[in-house]
Structure 1
Amino acid sequence: MEKVFFVLGDSPPHRVQSPSSIQTFNQCQRKYFYSYVEKLPTVPSVATTRGAIAHSVLEHFFDVSLEGVSWENCSSKFKQVVQELLVREWVSHKSEFDSFALLQEEQVALFEETLHMVFGWVDQFVQRLAAQGGDVSSAFRALTPVREVNYQSAKWHARGVIDVIEEFGGKVRVMDYKTSNHTNIDEYRLQLGIYALLYFEKHGRLPDAAGVYFLRANQTHFVNVDDELLERARQEILKIHEHTQSLEKHRYPRHISYLCKWSTGQCDFYDHCRADPD
């Protein structure tokens, strides 16, 4: 989880906010307090670990050697690459998977589902590659994005790590990967708006598009990048700065909802919150 920090020289100090910290605040202010003010430790989950693995696989995919890759074999070659990357990442996260106490068949099913996700993404990528035309290497280089870019704005005291920035045909797209069940782009409108705002602050122009690769559903959805999107991002950033100056817990009320505890898990701070007097 992204952590906030203080910017020196400002009075009063502003925490530097991120899409995840703002989302946490909007879901439950007490959870925000535990995570970003008290900085209580969190534990990995199956969902967050699998998400990190999928992100890493797609990030490193673009470092692949293109020797021997042709239009005839590029799909199979690329799927072999992502499968090898996935195996490597899975092994490197073995201790985390062991801590989840999953049955062997559950781990196998999770691996196969994740492999299916990245295979679906490869299919989409090959389609875009073919649309470029020319030779495979040139098309691949043209579609290779800037990856894992850390943007910070001193003006807005905000930051965000953009998964991919794609530039081709004179157009710029800021994109995020999601492995969740949900494909409702409206749930990610604020996150994408903050990314667009950060991009605008740095480059002096808006991205032409902002969207999400929903890996589980093998779908790609976009939001309109316009003044309305940026204005909402600005207002949400201002709102959270206004409401998070205090270090006093009682100023961060609990919000009891289905996000406290559900059938397969619970909030990282569920037990602490229940035992913590107001």
Structure 2
Amino acid sequence: MVCVRLSVAGRRVCVMDSATENCAGGAPGPAVGRGGRPAGPGRPASLSPSRAADFMQCPLLYRFRVIDRLPEKPSAAATRGTVVHAVLERLFDAPAADRTAVRARGLVPGEWEKLLASRPELAQLFQGEDGAQDPALLATWLGEAERLVERWFSLEDPTRLEPAERELFVETVLEDAGASGLTLRGIVDRVDVAPTGDVRIVDYKTGKAPAPRYREGALFQMMFYALVIWRLRGRVPRRLQLVYLGSGDVLTYDPVEAELLAVERKLRALWEAISLATDTGDWRPRPTKLCGWCDHQAVCPEFGGTPPPYPLPLPGQRGGPSGGASGGPAVPAGEEQGRMDPV
């Protein structure tokens, strides 16, 4: 059982994995209102696996990404993952006999060019110290992407696969989570359906498989998808499969209904905590080793920074932002700070 205690508005909210145990000292929060439907600028409208993970890692990071929508620097690793995912999706457009490693490697440069055309800022990833484009950096990066694609062929045989869905957008609403329910959404890399109707959810990871004690985060993402597909199709997925191209590992897990119900309870508790923080403006930083990778240290109080003015109205205000890391009191009329618009 994993219990994450988050301090929100001076209260401790418990987010649990367990289907049977209660959190010692954790008091349930108020019922979630509005169901996440936008009630103002930047108000959370739904929950995805990534944003749920953000909140569990650090509530203030969630605020910066979802409410303030602060820009973040592009990442070479994340960009490579986007290109590799696009190649593995596109490869299934070809007849089974043509799904070869050579063909897949050949798709990498084209998928990179398409991504660059839609996001020109990614060109800065391959600039030298003088600010000019460095072809050698790009060539090395493309080579790494090609090697990841090629490794996939040692883990799965695409000539024997006919996915039912690729890059599938899924969305469902959990009722009884407020007036409008809790909307869950995400994008599933691949869905395979057997002749028996059994469903396998597959997710590609371009990094290395984590050590067993750190696998819970990746499994949470897959259980999230399994819950959504179960609610949409009325059948618990037979298997969850994580394909780690960075290390050449394939991890599988066969969920059961009780586990998915536990995940649903966890997501409801998360949304309750998110809704409470949204209403109060109380977003606490939660320092971890991952802080060293965060783009928002300059505006994080843990690093001596000051968050931007809170862009949502708080109780007792007639509108307008407030300042401070966790909302703070309303500012006197005439002394309001400027509002930061979403980027």
Same-fold status (TM-score > 0.5):
yes
2:190 is the alignment partner of 1:159: no
Distance (Å, rounded) in 2 between the aligned partners of 1:33 and 1:198? 24
Residues 183 and 214 in structure 1, CA contact (< 8 A), matched pair in contact too: no
Per-residue deviation at 1:19?
0.4
Relative to the length of structure 2, the TM-score reads 0.65
- Aligned position for 1:121: 152
Structure number with larger C-alpha Rg? 2
Per-residue deviation at 1:8?
6.5
1:159 alignment partner AA: R
Per-residue deviation at 1:16?
1.0
Distance (Å, rounded) in 2 between the aligned partners of 1:221 and 1:91? 32
Per-residue deviation at 1:93?
4.2
Deviations 1:97-142 (Å, cap 9, x if unpaired)? 531236544433332222111112123333x74xxxxxxxxx55xx
Per-residue deviation at 1:89?
1.6
Which structure has greater helix proportion? Answer: 1
Q: 1:14 to 1:118 in 2, by over 3 A?
A: closer
- Aligned position for 1:133: none
- Aligned position for 1:225: 255
2:105 is the alignment partner of 1:83: yes
Provide the alpha-carbon RMSD of the alignment: 2.6
Report matched runs for 1:83-232 at 5 Å: 83-94=105-116, 95-100=120-125, 101=127, 104-126=135-157, 129=159, 139=160, 143-155=162-174, 156-170=182-196, 171-184=198-211, 185-232=215-262
2:139 alignment partner AA: V
Distance (Å, rounded) in 2 between the aligned partners of 1:203 and 1:248? 34
Q: 1:93 to 1:148 in 2, by over 3 A?
A: closer
Distance (Å, rounded) in 2 between the aligned partners of 1:218 and 1:236? 31
Deviations 1:82-106 (Å, cap 9, x if unpaired)? 1121011223345455312365444
Distance (Å, rounded) in 2 between the aligned partners of 1:115 and 1:228? 40
Distance (Å, rounded) in 2 between the aligned partners of 1:270 and 1:248? 24
Relative to the length of structure 1, the TM-score reads 0.79
Q: 1:8 to 1:107 in 2, by over 3 A?
A: closer
Distance (Å, rounded) in 2 between the aligned partners of 1:229 and 1:115? 37
Q: 1:64 to 1:242 in 2, by over 3 A?
A: same
1:81 alignment partner AA: R
The correspondence for 1:238, drawn from 268, 274, 279, is 268
% identity of equivalent residues: 22
